[in-house]
Amino acid sequence: MTSDSVFTHVHSTGIVLDGVRTIGGSRGLVTEKSTSGLEARNSTFTGARVAGASIDGAGIALSGVQISAVRSGVRVERGAHDIRLTDVAVTGGQDGLVTAPATTGLVVSGLTVTDVGADGVRTFSPDARITGSTITGGTTGIDVAAGTTITNTTITGAEEGIHSRSPDPVHAAGITVDTVELGVNIAPGSPFLLTDSNVHALESVRGQVDQIGTNDLSLPPLNLLGAIGVPLVVLAIVLEELHTARQRRMGTAPGRRRPPLPAGAS
């Protein structure tokens, strides 16, 4: 198939797609910008060149959708609003979920992204909510460029957990990050609040992070440490000490706990 597999026509409304299966094509599902009230559930989109689902319009919901081997799992296009993604799973490809600027009312729950090449989530959607999601592998777990709330979400095995470059506040609460290099990376001028979370990485925090509650900021778990190697672990300890000293000078030193080196390390 060389074109879009499922395409909604102008002013389509009240459509329910249940149990759809597509293979190949440019995009598995396309909702046109005047589409409203569409729901796609229990469907599978595989091997599309551009996107598994390209979402525009209003009141669009994806539920129980499986997407694999596509460039972008789900794209939420500019101007889309009131978009809900529930229990969507993306495997392989380049990016899991990508949202354009000027999209509003995005709610994501139970998203699973596994082994994409770049970003699990890259969002430019203001006031987006991401909850109960799991991202495994990739370059960056969640790349945030607009005010977002992230709750009860787990990121493992990525090079970088959360990268925030948003000019508006980003709040992460109850998250778990176990990553190789960077845990939470905050660009200058990006307000970020971390609440009751666990962030484990060679450099758990880079940039200014405000904290509430109990946060565990430390090195990765032992299974990742073994793969990384002792020299990088030593470098990580030095970076952690420099970061702590810098925060002490600023009067914002967090309570953090550094685990001992693995047995046999020197």
Residue 259 belongs to a domain:
no
Residue 264 resides in a domain = no
Structure tokens at 97: 């979920």
Whether pLDDT at 17 is above 80: yes
Task: Give the pLDDT confidence score for residue 117 in this predicted structure.
Answer: 96
Would you mind telling me the total number of residues written for the chain in this entry? 266
CATH number of the domain encompassing residue 42:
2.160.20.10
**pTM of the predicted model, to two decimals?**
0.83
Residues 6+ away with beta carbon under 8 Å from 164: 144, 170, 184, 185, 186, 187, 190, 192, 207
- Look at residue 12 and tell me whether its pLDDT is greater than 70: yes
Indicate whether 134 belongs to any domain: yes
Query: Which whole number is the average pLDDT over 26-42?
Result: 95
CA 230 to CA 233: how far, in whole Å? 5
**What is the 8-class DSSP label of residue 8?**
P
Gap between the Cα atoms of 102 and 2, Å rounded = 29
CB-based contact 148:173 (threshold 8 Å): no
Q: How far apart are CA 95 and CA 89, in angstroms?
A: 12
pLDDT value at 199 more than 60:
yes
- The total of structural domains in the chain comes to 1
In a domain, 260, yes or no: no
The reply to whether 236 falls in a domain is: yes
Residue 258 lies in a domain: no
Q: How confident is the model at residue 222 (pLDDT cuts 50, 70, 90)?
A: low
Give the Cα separation of 212 and 193 in Å (integer).
7
Q: Each residue of 125-152: pLDDT tens digit?
A: 999 999 999 999 999 999 999 999 999 9
> Which amino acid is it at 162?
I
- At residue 226, the pLDDT reads 54
Residue 255 lies in a domain: no
Question: Which residues, other chains included, contact 86 with Cβ-Cβ below 8 Å and sequence gap of 6+?
Answer: 61, 62, 63, 64, 109, 110
Domain assignment present for residue 46? The answer is: yes
Closest CA to 200 of 254, 241, 160: 160
Domain containing 137 equals: 6-249
